Structure 1
């Protein structure tokens, strides 16, 4: 019997799904992917900045998850492990684009004279997140995990595979860099 999205949110239910999926239960794997697809898409969107790339990454992660689920050893939370797979998929896509010489930057230009204040705020927010996406990988990841995903420095450190102090340092460096951009 498939779990509902609400029931699958608990760590115990996710752990049960992972165990069943690792053992080859296709229905458990489908439930695991469908439960976490929006999470993967949302995470990819924050890193990529556009829907098309986020959809490509989410689909890629779903495919990679089929092969990688057997390697999940349970030492970290499934969501932390899934973050890593998603971030690696985003980086792979970005590296492939860079090799092909394509750079995707989408900033809507809004004229301050004619735009209402809420559009100016939206444009400033888009500009800020575009600047965050331009940061070096580790700084970008730390900022997005802590500020966009609202994770603690400790949780971000677990996902990034480093110490909590290192996350704090990356955020400090990112702030210095962003001051120069903005």
Structure 2
């Protein structure tokens, strides 16, 4: 049960965020097992229709998402299924996180986002890039290059305007699920 509700506190006072994240956590195991996917097919169809069509949030069930994802004012939110999102991250409305189509028609990799990242409204994070841990990205930013740990980035294209003092508590340098992605 704790698996299903691991994002509950991050979405305190946000019923839509709580519902979407419980539905996502319920659907996610089907991405790991073909047999389960076959059994879960009706639920996966329900998830897609409710979350994408009615709630306007594209968060594919196979996306790798750490615990504590907060969805603030979640509307027009698009996350590519190959994106990796760390623990304790917050996404705001009208945000797009995805890959690009290259001139030869192939697709780039998708972003890898570290732990404790806050992403403002109307942000685009595009391409095979890495967003470090403890990062803040300002509203309206377009991120097309890596952002280091403990940075505040804003603008189009986004640029680092400040490096914050690292948090004194012991945080892992890289969550286990991000190893090998950056």
TM normalised by structure 2 equals 0.31
Tell me which of the two structures has the higher relative contact order, counting C-alpha pairs closer than 8 angstroms and 6 or more residues apart. 1
Structure with greater proportional helix content: 1
- Structure with greater Cα Rg: 1
Structure with greater proportional strand content: 2
